[in-house]
């Protein structure tokens, strides 16, 4: 299987061709503006030193400062970060946010670090990035393996270097440090808003609509809980250790309590334990892949029974799987649309911080709903008018907005 960067470039080239743009524009969009690869030495609790590989890639700044998360995961490498930075550019454009795209990461398993080791790693990684990040330049946020506490350490490290508090250097901060209400579940809530729009526009009407969620991390757990609270029946969940299923329904809030106690949802007493990969073949109406990239492939796509897939994760579906799912008339809400709620509320946090005026959670949720609904309608309109897939429609809109900014600003000098 091609890595994510190679897949992303193929999709980008295809969209550039569909839009009738020249090869020079493809070259411009396929080369990140800035790539940093840094060593991250850390003194471990044992007293020994270890060195981790860190990355930060700025894909574009044509529409505004770069914006993108930081992930801590053992599989992080430069190609993955380049691809995710490109996706962030597209995601910000599809939501019409005044940002370009960036992404960062450290190749590390955070579960194997103590809290103090995690803090030392974060502060050293931040120190290496200080010259290039900032509220008007490049604004990190949480991603896989990172959270509000990690953002607080980044903010503090950057602020100490500058000599004054700079809360705007990151988003996804704790509320006490200038974070936004609703940020933690924003990606999930935005995904659910897209699902609601899809159900309405597709006239999908059943007495009980069933949902399976792959991945029970931040995005997957909140998505499952929100769907459950709205009256949908969650019939299957999975995490890195295993999966559970119950056609009569699972309460994700109770599952979340078990995960806090045991670290996994496997062996949840009110559901059957199933092989992790079996989640994709569970009988359901809606599937939410909310883990890592390349999870839905040519191997498991034929087994998928869901009629709607909402991509809570980044790039969870391969091109081969896309073609199989299209032949089965599966309606896909693509990642750059479905999971853009997180960066949208990060934008709200950035705006609130600039004005030192903070919104209620109700205002955050309402404004997020307005933006997600508008973005969905725009993508669906192109999907119908041009008779292209939802993914191609979303990419055409996003690339078109970036290209417009490139042409208006020009190339200097």
Quick one: tokens of 200?
């309405």
DSSP 336-355: HHHTTHHHHHHHHHHHHHHH
For this structure, is 103 an active site residue? yes
DSSP percent split of the chain into helix, strand, coil, nearest 5: 50, 15, 35
Quick one: tokens of 226?
């929100």
Q: Which of 376, 372, 412 is nearest to 394 (CA)?
A: 376
DSSP 270-316: TSEEE-GGGGGGS--SEEEE-S-SS-B-TTTGGG---SEEE--SSS-
Q: How many CB atoms lie within 10 A of CB 262?
A: 12
Return the biggest CA–CA distance within the chain. Answer: 65
Q: Which of 349, 403, 404, 3 is nearest to 168 (CA)?
A: 349
Q: Output the CA–CA distances (angstroms, integers) from residue 36 to 81, 86, 118, 304, in the order listed.
A: 10, 15, 21, 39
Query: How buried is residue 368: exposed, middle or buried, by Cβ count under 10 Å (0-12/13-18/19+)?
Result: buried
Could you give the count of Cα atoms lying within 13 Å of 13 in the half-sphere of its Cβ?
9
Q: Which of 333, 327, 286 is nearest to 313 (CA)?
A: 333
State the catalytic residue, choosing from 67, 103, 173, 401. 103
Contact 349, 409 (CB under 8 A): no
Contact 252, 271 (CB under 8 A): no
| Residue 208, H or E segment | none
As a whole number of angstroms, the distance between CA 380 and CA 48 comes to 55
Q: Which of 67, 72, 87, 263 is nearest to 169 (CA)?
A: 67
Question: b/e string for 127-160 if b means 16 or more Cβ within 10 A?
Answer: ebbeeebbbeebbbbbbbbbebebbbbbbbbbee
| Catalytic residue list | 103
């Amino acid at each position: 299987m091609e890595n994510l960067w190679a897949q992303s470039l193929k999709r980008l080239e295809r969209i550039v061709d569909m839009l009738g743009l020249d090869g020079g524009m493809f070259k411009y969009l396929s080369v990140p503006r800035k790539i940093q690869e840094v060593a991250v030495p850390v003194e471990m609790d044992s007293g020994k030193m270890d060195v981790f590989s860190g990355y930060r890639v700025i894909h574009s700044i044509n529409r505004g400062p770069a914006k993108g998360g930081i992930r801590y995961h053992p599989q992080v490498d430069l190609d993955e970060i380049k691809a995710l930075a490109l996706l962030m550019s597209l995601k910000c454009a599809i939501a019409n946010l005044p940002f370009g795209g960036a992404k960062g990461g450290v190749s590390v398993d955070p579960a194997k670090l103590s809290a103090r080791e995690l803090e030392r790693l974060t502060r050293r990684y931040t120190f290496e990035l200080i010259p290039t990040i900032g509220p008007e330049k490049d604004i990190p946020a949480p991603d896989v393996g990172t959270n509000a506490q990690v953002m607080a350490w980044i903010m503090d490290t950057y602020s100490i270097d500058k000599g004054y508090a700079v809360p705007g250097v990151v988003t996804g901060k704790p509320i006490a440090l200038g974070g936004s209400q609703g940020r933690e579940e924003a990606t999930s809530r935005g995904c659910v808003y897209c699902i609601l729009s899809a159900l309405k526009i597709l006239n999908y009407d059943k007495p009980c609509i069933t949902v399976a969620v792959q991945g029970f991390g931040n995005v997957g757990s909140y998505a499952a809980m929100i769907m459950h609270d709205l009256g949908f029946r969650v019939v299957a969940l999975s995490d890195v250790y295993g999966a559970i299923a119950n056609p009569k329904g699972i309460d994700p809030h109770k599952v979340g309590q078990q995960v806090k106690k045991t670290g996994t949802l496997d062996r949840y007493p009110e559901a059957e334990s199933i092989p992790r990969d079996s989640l994709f073949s569970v009988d359901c109406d809606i599937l939410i892949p909310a883990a890592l990239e390349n999870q839905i492939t040519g191997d498991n796509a034929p087994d998928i029974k869901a009629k709607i897939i909402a991509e809570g994760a980044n790039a969870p579906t391969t091109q081969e799987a896309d073609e199989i799912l299209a032949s089965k008339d599966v309606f896909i809400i693509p990642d750059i649309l479905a999971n853009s709620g997180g960066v949208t509320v990060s934008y709200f946090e950035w705006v609130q911080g600039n004005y030192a005026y903070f919104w209620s959670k109700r205002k955050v949720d309402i404004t997020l709903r307005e933006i997600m609904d508008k973005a969905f309608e725009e993508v669906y309109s192109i999907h119908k008018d041009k008779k292209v897939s939802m993914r191609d429609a979303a990419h055409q809109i996003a690339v078109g907005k970036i290209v417009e900014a490139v042409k208006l600003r020009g190339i200097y000098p």
